Homo-oligomer: A and B are copies of this chain.
Amino acid sequence: DGSSVESLDYEVIENYAYREEQAQRGKLYIGYYVGVKWFFALLIGIGTGLAAVLINISVENFAGWKYSLTFSIIQKSYVAGFIVYVLINLALVFSSVYIITQFAPAAAGSGIPEIKGYLNGIDTHGILFFRTLIGKIFGSIGSVGGGLALGKEGPLVHIGACIASLLGQGGSRKYHLSSRWLQVFKSDRDRRDLVTCGCAAGVAAAFRAPVGGVLFALEEVTSWWRSQLMWRVFFTSAIVAVVVRIAMGWCKSGNCGHFGFGGFIIWDISGGQEDYSFRELFPMAVIGVIGGLLGALFNQLTLFITRWRRNYLHKKGNRVKIIEVCLISVITSVISFGLPLFRNCSPCPEADASSGIECPNAPGVYGNYVNFYCGRDKEYNDLATIFFNTQDDAIRNLFSAKTIHEFSAKSLLTFLVMFYTLAVVTFGTAVPAGQFVPGIMIGSTYGRLVGMFVVNFYQKLNIEEGTYALLGAASFLGGSMRMTVSLCVIMVEITNNLKLLPLIMLVLLISKAVGDAFNEGLYEEQARLRGIPLLESRPKNQMRNMTAKEACGMQKVVYFPRTTKVADIVSILRSNSHNGFPVLDHSRSGETLVIGLVLRSHLLVLLHSKADFQHSPLPSDLRGRSLPIRHSLSEFVKPASSKGISIDDIHLSSDDLEMYIDLAPFVNPSPYVVPEDMSLTKVYNLFRQLGLRHVLVVPRASRVIGMITRKDLVIED
């Protein structure tokens, strides 16, 4: 169903309104423009940072309150505790799915595939609305707080992008929150830059990883990257880091309830393994392979299950979606509460005062060695430590160093299988859902398993299971998402340990290569499923043997003559769904001449306003009049992720239909053209590198007017 997606237009349409506006711009305006750009970058940073803080504080408080309540009840009755636990989770999850289904359907899922699509040049309907933003924020709080097997990181990226896009439009028109003087960004191009900033800000906020955020945005937007943008994106990420830091400082003084204990993703393992020996590289490579396999499997399973949901389950309406999520919530609660009950408790390790590790921990307190359903005093439940816990704390425990043999292989395996299944099933339901944290959970579980074997096998070495858990996490994310540099940097930043960089890289190289042998990355697969046609950075091999002419098929080109009857325009627009039409004119000597390209959306604006209708079929300049200015550039701007006017919204009288429009002032006078026999590889590069929407295929030129070389383009001010 590609009907809800539409390409963006990153080309500058140099029509007369644009030239008009350019001519009016003074030096002052350019200064203002640059100033607003940076100011917006600042606002995006602050907004995304605050959204992240809000989500984190809320989630931690809901979860903290939930766990302490449950713990206090199970001191008396496990059954009552269980019921309370299930109900609280259900209530939170229900609030989330209710918001999503009733109010902001576009906010379901992670949003990263759509944002990836946006940065690649495709707008998905509704993805950047104000209501999507709101739904995403509050939906995330419910779904993550409710203990589902999903994370809040993907949604944060989406939130950052929404904030950026709303700023770029100068606010939300629908909710009358817009301001005219902020509407300086009138092209998809400028908005895309803002969304790039927002995307980086989201990652920076999710992982407290400013460099990782920049690189993440970069990996997704490589084709339109410019160094100035890089600096602005970096600035945004830095602002996020500062905002988050201030908020956390404020929370340290106890203003944020349960937040003080856990909260923001950052699993400092600077106390981890100091050094690694070459013998360890083999088990690490094994982790990479496992990650590649499990990651690829995850992509495949989620693809099947999402396709099934789209085609059957979710067609049945919102009620089914709500019931589905509630069911999954109950199952998740039952498993996470019930499974630890079946696990025997283990005796606490010898107390080691210097390590500062307590065992067992008081119930409801963050830390390792949770006492859950243990008979004796000095015992802990290793499965509850990871399962019956917030995900952040669970990961912290899995990554923890100096806690050798905390977990038994059996518990880890049980958890791995269960959580993997839950993550697969939860994926694609109608709640905001990120895959980073579940991925880290899964990966660190088998990583720690491998680490345990290594510890047993190479007795002598100074090996930390926590380091292996980290590598496992990296390998699973690499095997599933197939990101490379940005993932690597994010992992380094969240663990705050630069020394592990080469190891993480090794593991990622392997897991990505293994995963690539099976399928595409998670986000690419999901984007494909949603009908978002991503353009990869490399043209396909068979394009070398195709020409531009072959690519556009046998279809006759639909074009407009320079002055066209309104009735003709309407009937042509109705008869096809093309979005761009060449405009042809006759030169004085009688030859035809392509004078430009006119966009469907611009034509619709013209039809809607009727200001340019004329009675004569002659072009206006031929009639000796200069062009009156009837449109400002902003009238042609389409709001983000909405469809603009449709041809069916326009009502014309029969008199109107008999009139003419001179299209010349409204065309893009110089669309990019390629000769008909250019190989498709070259066309592809042109199209993708410049972020185009239409390329005109024309006959070979008959003569050369001039040559442009580097010298002609190096102009001094």
Contacts and interface: CB of A to CB of B under 8 A. Distances in A.
Interface of A: 7, 12, 14, 22, 30, 121-122, 210-211, 214-215, 218-219, 222-223, 225-228, 230-231, 234-235, 238, 241-242, 245, 484-485, 488-489, 492-493, 496, 498, 501-502, 505-506, 509, 512, 533-535, 537-538, 540-545, 548-549, 551-553, 555, 557, 559, 578-580, 582, 584, 591-595, 669-670, 672-690, 693-715, 717
Given A594-B701, A670-B674, A557 B501 contact: no
A235 B231 CA distance: 24
Nearest to A697: B706
Contacts of A512: 231
Contact of A506 (B238, B534, B580): B238
A559 B704 contact: yes
Given A591-B702, A699-B703, 15 more contacts: A12-B681, A22-B545, A214-B485, A228-B538, A238-B502, A542-B717, A549-B705, A551-B708, A553-B712, A579-B709, A582-B707, A673-B673, A693-B710, A696-B707, A697-B704
Contacts of A592: 702-703
A491 to B, nearest CB: 12
Given A485-B234, A533-B711, A535-B714, A704 B14 contact: no
Given A535-B714, A593-B700, A702-B592, A694 B676 contact: no
A234 B484 contact: yes
B695 A707 contact: yes
Given A700-B593, A702-B592, A705-B699, A222 B225 contact: yes
30 contacts: A30-B541, A210-B505, A211-B488, A211-B489, A218-B218, A228-B537, A235-B505, A238-B506, A493-B498, A535-B714, A542-B717, A548-B708, A552-B707, A557-B704, A580-B707, A592-B703, A594-B703, A674-B708, A676-B705, A684-B713, A686-B690, A694-B708, A695-B708, A695-B709, A696-B707, A697-B704, A697-B705, A698-B705, A699-B703, A701-B701
Contacts of A687: 708, 710, 713
Counted per complex, copies of this chain come to 2
A543 B712 CA distance: 11
A679 B215 CA distance: 33
Contacts of A210: 501-502, 505
A502 B710 contact: no
Contacts of A218: 218, 230
B707 A502 contact: no
Contact of A553 (B505, B540, B694, B706): B706
A242 B502 contact: yes
Nearest to A695: B708
A408 B193 CA distance: 48
A690 B694 contact: no
Contact of A231 (B484, B543, B672, B717): B484
Contacts of A551: 706, 708, 712-713
A695 to B, nearest CB: 4
Contacts of A214: 485
B594 A542 contact: no
B228 A706 contact: no
A679 B121 contact: no
Contacts of A683: 708, 713
A715 to B, nearest CB: 6
B698 A699 contact: no
Nearest to A712: B551
Nearest to A555: B706
B238 A501 contact: yes
Contacts of A677: 669-670
Given A707-B557, A707-B694, A712-B553, A702 B594 contact: yes
A508 to B, nearest CB: 9
A241 B501 contact: yes
B241 A538 contact: no
Contact of A552 (B689, B696, B708): B708
